[in-house]
Amino acid sequence: MLKAADFGSDFLWGVATAATQIEGASNSYGKGMSIWDIFSKRTGKVKNGHQPVNACDFYHQYKSDIALVKTLGFKVFRFSISWSRILPLGKGLVNEEGISFYHHVIDECLVQGIIPYVTLYHWDLPEELSKNGGWTSYSINSEFNEFVMLCARTYGDKVKNWIVINEPFGFTSLGYMLGVHAPGETGLTNFFSAVKHTAIAQADGGRILRAEVGKANIGTTFSCSEIIPYTQSDADILAAKRIDCLMNRLFVEPTLGMGFPTADWDVLEKFTVSHSTWRHNERMTFDFDFIGLQNYFPLVVKFNAFIPVIQAWEVKAKSRRKPHTAMGWEINADSFHNIIKQFAAYPIKNIMITENGAAFKDVLKDGKVMDEDRIAYFKLYLSALLKAKNEGINITGYMAWTLMDNFEWAEGYHARFGLVHNDFKTQQRTIKDSGFWWKDFLTK
Ligand code: BGC
């Protein structure tokens, strides 16, 4: 039987969240609008017109929510700072109410013996900055640095664990290439210019934290997915390689000083060559104390000549008759193990799994929330993680996604990933069976 003790007594167990997904109070206490507040108001962008206005009301319930983290047996609480809550216009004017809110959250963690891991950017760019191009604009780097500096100087005495950016590939691709996430921009030119500025911001952020925060433990996070060719044909194998360059290699390699992975995909050369001068390569590099990996699914891809540039197409889990979550994401713990190994081949000092979890259609009965599927999922994935750790990979922590059901971006409130059920009408929290499973796993 799987035991938490098998991971070692120093292993850090946590739950992860993000500001927009849980806080609510999106338009009060001096907070400025973020791109998600605006994007979700646009017809058809978020399922059922859901908006993050109230989300989980964490803004008012943070004390009892942090108590829940503790009840479930976790040591770490990962949350993000909403940029537009502390800098309503993205720069300049500081909102003191926003500043004190995060002081309260951090203090509450410390009082309850929970270690705060603070993410600086989890996708909620201030709308005012987006008006000038947001991540596609040259000015974003100085604006981001101002935000990081403010956070570091304000909270650095109390917070030692920092995550600069959450999944750079996630928001640059969904928000600036495909237009399905905020701010809804499309096209490769927008995408690659957002990529460049984000890669710079990530390393700049690391440098600012290093200079400003004594004894800081600084990380950043990458989404990762094993990319599996549909067949062993050359065309499918090459298609898989292109997707791998995009989804797994695009950000980690510049961070490690290797530049963009242009050698393995010439199209990347075309789009990044103007950005990839030695000067930028140096600026995109930072020696992070840990790299956060976030895994949700593998991707099976086949060649498709009709898809411009990338010429690859995903073959969905459902059509391959593979077990999948409510999001349609394949459940495949071997692929989790494989992608950890792929990243471990880089010169990374320390890997933390900063997100992993699943949405299912939970069953509510007699005041209980039954989610056997989620328990089975965690057992599988944690076994794969232990296997990777026992093979000698330096993995030092795991954070489950997520504490409670929340605003799941373009999916609205339907996709439920929580260990705790949330009734969005009453804001009543109910620990799911999976939450009790974690409690037993971590405390018995
Ligand atoms: C994001 C989370 C999101 C989760 C599930 C991750 O990519 O960081 O904010 O809720 O995936 O979709």
Whether the predicted pLDDT of 272 surpasses 70:
no
Probe residue for ligand 1, chosen from 34, 121, 180, 355 as the CB with the greatest number of ligand atoms within 8 Å: 355
Question: Domains plus CATH for the chain?
Answer: 4-443 (3.20.20.80)
DSSP letter, residue 345: T
Distance 124 CA to ligand 1 centre (A): 13
| Measured torsion, CA atoms of residues 298, 82, 171, 315, in degrees rounded to the nearest 10 | 30
d(CA 160, CA 154): 12
**In the predicted model, what is the mean pLDDT of residues 368-384?**
98
pLDDT score for 100: 98
192 SS3 class: helix
Whether the predicted pLDDT of 270 surpasses 90:
no
pLDDT score for 23: 99
Probe residue for ligand 1, chosen from 17, 119, 409 as the CB with the greatest number of ligand atoms within 8 Å: 409
d(CA 378, CA 401): 11
pLDDT score for 241: 96
| Ligand 1 nearest atom to the CA of residue 417, by list position | 5
Per the CB < 8 A criterion, the answer to whether 76 and 399 are in contact is yes
Whether the predicted pLDDT of 276 surpasses 70:
no
d(CA 389, CA 7): 8
Strand partners, 299: 227
Residue 44: which residues within 8 A CB-CB, separation 6 or more?
A: none
Q: Each residue of 230-249: pLDDT tens digit?
A: 999 999 999 999 999 999 99
Whether the predicted pLDDT of 124 surpasses 90:
yes
User: Tokens for 223?
Assistant: 């989404």
pLDDT score for 409: 98
Q: Each residue of 5-57: pLDDT tens digit?
A: 999 999 999 999 999 999 999 999 999 999 999 999 999 999 999 999 999 99
Distance 305 CA to ligand 1 centre (A): 30
* Alpha carbon distance, N-terminus to C-terminus of the chain: 13
Q: Which residues are catalytic?
A: 167, 355
Distance 174 CA to ligand 1 centre (A): 12
- What pTM was estimated for this model as a whole? 0.98
| Mean model confidence pLDDT for the chain | 96
Q: Are strands 368-370 and 428-431 parallel, antiparallel or unpaired?
A: unpaired
pLDDT score for 201: 97
**In the predicted model, what is the mean pLDDT of residues 212-238?**
98
User: Tokens for 349?
Assistant: 């000092």
d(CA 204, CA 193): 17
The CB of 124 under 6 Å from ligand 1? The reply is no
21 is in an annotated binding site: yes
Higher pLDDT, 260 or 169: 169
Q: Each residue of 378-392: pLDDT tens digit?
A: 999 999 999 999 999
pLDDT score for 191: 94
d(CA 81, CA 162): 11
Q: What angle do CA 76, 343, 357 make, to 5 degrees?
A: 45
**In the predicted model, what is the mean pLDDT of residues 103-109?**
99
**In the predicted model, what is the mean pLDDT of residues 47-69?**
98
What band does 361 get if pLDDT is binned at 50, 70 and 90? very high
Higher pLDDT, 275 or 179: 179
Helix axes 372-390, 333-344, angle to 10 degrees: 30
Whether the predicted pLDDT of 128 surpasses 80:
yes
d(CA 270, CA 66): 47
pLDDT score for 410: 98
pLDDT score for 215: 98
Q: Each residue of 316-327: pLDDT tens digit?
A: 999 999 999 999
pLDDT score for 9: 97
d(CA 199, CA 144): 12
Q: Each residue of 277-331: pLDDT tens digit?
A: 555 789 999 999 999 999 999 999 999 999 999 999 999 999 999 999 999 999 9
d(CA 429, CA 410): 23
d(CA 409, CA 252): 24
pLDDT score for 275: 55
Instruction: List C-alpha distances in Å: 408 to 4, 217, 266, 347.
Output: 29, 28, 35, 33
Q: Each residue of 140-187: pLDDT tens digit?
A: 999 999 999 999 999 999 999 999 999 999 999 999 999 999 999 999
Whether the predicted pLDDT of 226 surpasses 80:
yes
